[in-house]
Amino acid sequence: MLVLAPLAGCAALYPREIGLSEAELLSALASRFPAEQRVMQIFDLKLARPRLKLLPADNRVAIALDLGLQDTVLRRQMDGGLGFTTGLRYDAGRQSVVLTGVRADSASIDGLPRVLAGTVNQWGGWLAEQLLEGAVVRKVSDDELRQVRSRGLHPGAIRVTDRGVALALEEEASAR
């Protein structure tokens, strides 16, 4: 659902940003999980149940995922978690808000022998980064883009707020 925030005064008729709520952002991320990958032909790695926290001071979003690891030989299940942060940017070619600069921050797996923990954590981080980097979290429709451009605006900078994400609608260079 499109959420527009108006400017003050006479410009109130023309919204200057497109909003994406925290719930919409989480829903877009959740559609990518669960995800699975075999690691070193010994473990089946599963990432599931994304949770997010908005980090307005850093203009980033923190994402936490449940991590499940099954030993394919002994069929032993181990559980843990992965944590990431990501920025957002507008990709004009895809007309979309996408995740960018995805960084793994933390990883833990209960009961995993220390000698394997580093390797499995690297694979889990790699898998999540592959799934999340460039992931579309909001597509700007052709109709929305036409409306924005008809007012001499274009999608620009993205700001993480305490309620969600705001995509600024900036003046076209020729309109200044």
Concatenated DSSP letters of 109-163: ETT--HHHHHHHHHHHHHHHHHHHTT-EEEEPPHHHHHHHHHTTEEEEEEEE-SS
- Residue 11 pLDDT > 50, yes or no? no
Q: Which residues contact 111 (CB under 8 A, 6 or more apart)?
A: 76, 78
65 close to 79: Cβ distance less than 8 angstroms: no
More confident residue, 119 or 153: 153
**Residue 124: what pLDDT?**
67
**Residue 174: what pLDDT?**
61
Burial of 92 (0-12, 13-18, 19+ CB in 10 A): exposed
Q: What is the pLDDT of residues 84-122, one digit of tens each?
A: 999 999 999 999 999 999 988 887 888 777 777 677 667
User: 7-11, 82-86, 110-114, 167-171: which has the minimum mean pLDDT?
Assistant: 7-11
Pick the CATH number of 3-175 from 1.10.1240.10, 3.40.50.10540, 3.90.1150.10, 3.15.10.40: 3.15.10.40
Q: CB count, 10 Å around CB of 15?
A: 19
- Residue 65 pLDDT > 60, yes or no? yes
**Residue 127: what pLDDT?**
74
Q: What is the pLDDT of residues 22-61, one digit of tens each?
A: 999 999 999 988 988 887 787 788 889 999 999 999 999 9
pLDDT band for position 19 (cuts 50, 70, 90)? very high
**Residue 47: what pLDDT?**
87
**Residue 58: what pLDDT?**
97
Average pLDDT, rounded, for the chain: 84
- Residue 140 pLDDT > 90, yes or no? yes
